[in-house]
Structure 1
């Protein structure tokens, strides 16, 4: 088993996924729940040196008000958590609440800014100050808790995309941009990523946000000998695409079109109702098919906010394909899942695996963890089974 304690620092620490992670770890520590959804608890990972449940210590940043106990009760009401879980694990939630610090809100987009509580946001005159504040919080957390390693996980809402042409092209330009709030193109997710570097922490970007997804910041991670991975957790419709699309390719079935309609509620749905924020999510979901099929079918992805669904997302897909002699056929499927319950175990898996990467001294984008992401850094998207085989080989190395 890994030595010492590992910090899991969550950006978006009172959101649905973060709250489910906190309750889930508490339940696992007490033996109250089976390890469903956790890849690292399956047979291929037996014997891999990963931290135990009681070695993972939680903290985080948040720009919204409220408490984790309130968040857990809201999830209970939405059938995401078992009834009584909020009160049963109230002490665990209170410990995390005590470690949550006000977050930074820099060019995060109107929809995210509308959710923020002024008392939960650190005012920063420049992007460099935001990076410094983030790093100081991480270092204080590590020292106060006596942690051996820290992994930051981005779980905040989806920011609008950043124009690639506006990004700094090298480390010098990146560093210079941090002193000019008016001209720096970076959003909060990238400033959090830079703060993680300053604090010596690994990074997991579970969101479609830019984070560490450009060359200059990748160079900084490599130079700092720190690992990072992302982006955009693969939990629902895209997970199915990565399993089903290779089937069509393997049988030489020609996919002419693949249309997906996605419905979701909760705060993610509210943020993605804004066209600018939605654009980043749609781009992430659309990238997969061409790499798996060999060519690009006509494709359309829609995302609609439906308040009544709460944390339960629904995806309906229609696949139009041709077989022998050009005969047209179709497949339709419906995916209905609980967003937080699908994502939370992946977050726990990723923290355990990034802890392993830190102990191994790995650095830069970890393409071996591509199985968890829609838009993996350091690797091209592949069939899910191939990505899982690569992950197991890497973990058992």
Structure 2
């Protein structure tokens, strides 16, 4: 049921066909150059028609790495919300919530009422969306621990809550997963007691069957698959192996050593028409995976959940550069004690993480050619250390050294304690809810003969990801508020509302 009804000739609610049909004029600007180095800005208007299904499906979520800290915490939080659990801590009684979720706990300014007061509504009220409480969860893990034992091992939630969750989680056991020792740190071997044997082709067929069986058993309309397992090393990009869909499928049949577990899960999901989201920093989406997704018209998104330190960095650097202040050095130090930290203590796995965390400022730097000459960037250093005693409570220390007015220097130091899985779990929820919604959206322009789905690569997910995957030729945006505005304004477009504006012209021109 739609909670927001838009009173406009540009939107039509078809209750018989269960559709919202909206007409939207998208305004953009084309920039060209004259010989004397002047700019010519030409406004351009493109009319879109959006068609959004209002039928909310029964949705399944399969997590790769279900028994890890993120997987067990996410499962526990959904169960706690579903059963309205409360628990005691030294601070008092706590109630289940979805804090940290953009969709479930953030609001959007809808407009102004008759008293000229801003009216805000929850994100989830703009369009019909799956509620997290209704998601059916399953998954794979290289460890055979049940989810209650995994939750206890993670040391994330309070003891009283874990005890109340035990009846709901003790019978949840992950399906056997794929374990290729060359791709993750050797210190993970002791966990690997629940792994598939056989060839990579057999693994692919087994994962595909797992998805089909999960969907059938739970009578689901759709399934989304999310990689929340360990960070892998980068895969080598090899001609004839993973450079095309055909070559990648052949490489799997030939059991080629350079096909990673995450790539295998992505291929299986695509072939089963299930969207796949990569929550770790490795290059899961080699060219062959992207081509396969485009061929099968299945949505994919990645890479690497953006939960703590990187999210702050994307805000602070955007603020500094936008204010005309020049960051010249960014030094980021982390230490954490969960299994992610243990895995990242291996050099090749750390390299994957370092790349995803280091590229987050590139677009913000590139947008200001007054501060930065072509090719110039701030010095950017990322360090991650494993300290077992801090468990899932990651410490992040950042120093931002900037050049200011007339050769002065400004230094900002930040200490951030991030409870890793409690920040990442609501991000996973947002990724899944938005991805599912995008599968119900089609668009059409005047040049198109019929409606079509959005591109397979969901760049709209960039707000939740450190190293956003975008279609070839599309710009990568890391500035956090630009990413959020993209989500908000797309949601508005789907119900026929104009983009959000902070111009407040109605008040500046008010008499």
Fold shared by both chains (TM-score > 0.5): yes
Matches within 5 A, 1:1-397: 2-32=55-85, 33-41=96-104, 42-44=106-108, 45=123, 46-75=125-154, 78=155, 80-94=156-170, 96-97=172-173, 100-106=174-180, 107-111=182-186, 113-118=188-193, 120-125=194-199, 127-165=200-238, 168-181=242-255, 183-211=256-284, 213-294=285-366, 295-360=376-441, 361-378=453-470, 380-396=476-492, 397=494
> What is the CA-CA distance between 1:320 and the residue it aligns to?
0.9
Cα root mean square deviation, aligned: 1.7
CA distance in 2 between partners of 1:197 and 1:92 (Å): 31
The question of whether the paired residues in 1 share the 8 Å contact of 2:187 and 2:342 is answered with: no
The question of whether the paired residues in 2 share the 8 Å contact of 1:353 and 1:395 is answered with: no
SS in 2 for 1:374: coil
Q: Which has the larger radius of gyration?
A: 2
Deviations 1:305-361 (A, max 9, x none): 011110000111111111110111211101111001000011111111111122235
Deviations 1:185-234 (A, max 9, x none): 221000000010122211111111222x2222111111212111110000
SS in 2 for 1:60: strand
The question of whether the paired residues in 2 share the 8 Å contact of 1:254 and 1:323 is answered with: yes
Deviations 1:52-89 (A, max 9, x none): 234200010110132211122234xx3x2122222212
Extract unaligned runs of 5+ from structure 1: none
The question of whether the paired residues in 2 share the 8 Å contact of 1:221 and 1:363 is answered with: no
CA distance in 2 between partners of 1:297 and 1:253 (Å): 12
CA distance in 1 between partners of 2:100 and 2:164 (Å): 22
SS in 1 for 2:384: strand
Q: Which moved more, 1:327-336 or 1:142-151?
A: 327-336
> What is the CA-CA distance between 1:140 and the residue it aligns to?
0.5
Change (3 A) 1:329 1:264: same
SS in 2 for 1:121: coil
Deviations 1:256-288 (A, max 9, x none): 111111111111111111111111111111111
TM-score (norm 2): 0.73
SS in 1 for 2:226: strand
CA distance in 2 between partners of 1:48 and 1:93 (Å): 31
The question of whether the paired residues in 1 share the 8 Å contact of 2:147 and 2:171 is answered with: no
CA distance in 1 between partners of 2:163 and 2:146 (Å): 13
TM-score (norm 1): 0.93
SS in 1 for 2:130: coil
CA distance in 2 between partners of 1:74 and 1:114 (Å): 17
Number of matched pairs: 388
> What is the CA-CA distance between 1:109 and the residue it aligns to?
2.8
Change (3 A) 1:31 1:363: farther
SS in 1 for 2:271: helix
Change (3 A) 1:359 1:28: same
CA distance in 1 between partners of 2:149 and 2:243 (Å): 43
CA distance in 2 between partners of 1:169 and 1:73 (Å): 42
> What is the CA-CA distance between 1:91 and the residue it aligns to?
3.3
The question of whether the paired residues in 2 share the 8 Å contact of 1:58 and 1:96 is answered with: no
Extract unaligned runs of 5+ from structure 2: 2-54, 86-95, 109-122, 367-375, 442-452, 495-511
Higher helix fraction (1 or 2): 1
CA distance in 2 between partners of 1:319 and 1:110 (Å): 31
CA distance in 2 between partners of 1:323 and 1:89 (Å): 53
> What is the CA-CA distance between 1:16 and the residue it aligns to?
0.7
